[in-house]
Amino acid sequence: MIRAIAASILLLIATHPALALEDADYSAAVAATAKTVIIPSYRAFGERAESLQAQLDALCKQPSEAALKGAQQQFAAVAAAWAQIQYISFGPIFEHQRAFRIEYWPDKRNVVGRQLAEVLKEQDRAALEPKRFATTTVGVQGLPALERLLFADDALAELNGPNTSFRCSLFDAIGNNLKTIARDVVTGWTEGESSFLSRIEHPSENDEEVPSGRDAAGRLLNDLLTATIAMRDMKLLAPLGSALEKAKPHTAEYWRSGQSIAVLTTNVDGWRDLFGAKQGLGALLSAQPDGKQVADDVRATVDRAAHELAQVGMPLDKAVADPTQRKQVEAFAAELMKLRDLLAGPVTTTLNLPIGFNALDGD
């Protein structure tokens, strides 16, 4: 399947004349997207992470059902903020395993569960010091570990038990880690002549990561494609299983907190924002010969996908095992497939951009 798609794309490119797009056009589109969507989204994630840390501190100072609910709600807000830009893979987020440290998922081997149990058993406070914690195993550093702690059936009981002090120190370590990662990513994008934004606006042949504006645009398009595939293959097809009786609800992202649908909704919103950024890739596509229709098709498909997702009326782990709701999940997945085909075909051809076929792995 991958080779067939690759061959068809190469054929399309070969039969269309080269477009009159300059490297500066690509640079401008990616820079505009970074300024209006990517960087503000990382800032928003950092702000939510800071609020989460404050809520966790309040929970530890006075454990109660109300305080726990407040922390859980703030967790949901942070997960949504991360989902907005979850699939950006280039720039400072690519360094120091930052994305994995925010969310190690999918976790097919229960790495998070095993590593979290080990940390709680050992209760090594020195391991929670910020610099050391940032280099510890990724399974305990981010949102999946925090979800297990906040949404366990005995979450409040544990906070009133003998190990409260260490558990609260772990809360603080995770909250601070998320906040620090967000801050460092924003700094990497914005500060100094060597900031990632400057490198996009003024590409250099000596830059191994982003040697040209066209390369930067290709990276952004690849991330949009990867997001589309990941939403369908990892977030939907895995819990759907091959049939109703073979559904695997506990493979859904954030099933413990019931945030699977909310996060998918924000994934779609983030996708729309990245593609539709003012003077971004969507605008560049619309400006090309025959490009406006392609861009309109993309926008219409995203809108249909969002509509189908909005019809899912229960948490994803429940929906995949419900005959009626399962069909609605499948309808959302079908729109994502159409979106993937648009990106891998007409969009990449019209913009004269390469895509990395490894993004299609698993199809």
Q: Distance between CA 288 and CA 346 in Å, rounded?
A: 12
Q: What is the mean pLDDT of residues 203-226?
A: 95
Boundary residue ending a domain (201, 226, 258):
201
Task: Give the pLDDT of residue 15.
Answer: 40
Q: What is the mean pLDDT of the chain?
A: 93
What integer pLDDT is reported at residue 89 of this predicted model?
A: 95
Cβ neighbours, 10 Å, residue 125: 12
Q: Write out pLDDT tens, residues 7-26.
A: 444 444 444 444 579 999 99
Give residue-wise pLDDT tens across range 277-312: 999 999 999 999 999 999 999 999 999 999 999 999
106 preceded by a cis bond (ω within 30 of 0): yes
Q: Are residues 217 and 352 in the same domain?
A: yes
- The mean pLDDT of 225-238, rounded to a whole number, is 98
Query: Between the CA atoms of 201, 100, 363 and 249, what dihedral angle is there, to the nearest 10 degrees?
Result: -140
Query: Residue 307: CB partners within 8 Å, gap ≥ 6?
Result: none
Query: Looking at residue 248, what is its pLDDT?
Result: 98
Q: Which pLDDT belongs to residue 19?
A: 52
SS3 (DSSP) at 217? helix
Pair (17, 40) in one structural domain: no
pLDDT above 70 for 157? yes
CATH of the domain at 173: 1.20.1420.20
Domain of residue 135, residue span: 30-201
Domain assignment of residue 188, yes or no: yes
Q: Domain check: are 138 and 153 in the same one?
A: yes
Identify whether residues 19 and 36 lie together within a single domain.
no
Counted domains in the chain: 2
Sign for the pseudo-dihedral over CA of 107, 113, 119, 122 = negative
Domain boundary among 182, 201, 220: 201
Q: How far apart are CA 99 and CA 223, in angstroms?
A: 13
Query: How many C-beta atoms surround the C-beta of residue 277 within 10 A?
Result: 21
- Residue 361 covered by a domain: no
Residue type at 310 in one-letter notation: A
Q: Please tell me whether residues 100 and 126 are part of one structural domain.
A: yes
Residues 267 and 322 in one domain: yes
Q: Residue 361 above 70 pLDDT?
A: no
pLDDT, residue 354, reads 85
* Domain end residue (candidates: 160, 176, 201): 201
Are 262 and 229 in a shared domain?
A: yes
Are 320 and 216 in the same domain?
Answer: yes
Same domain, 40 and 122: yes
22-40 pLDDT per residue, tens:
999 999 999 999 999 999 9
Residue 192 confidence (pLDDT): 87
The answer to whether residue 191 scores a pLDDT higher than 50 is yes
What number is the average pLDDT over the span 95-116? 97
Confidence of residue 140 (pLDDT cuts 50, 70, 90): very high
Q: Is residue 363 part of a domain?
A: no
**175 and 38 within one domain:** yes
pLDDT, residue 2, reads 39
Whether residue 67 is found in the same domain as residue 126: yes
Residue 197 confidence (pLDDT) above 80: yes
Give me the mean pLDDT over the 98-116 stretch.
97
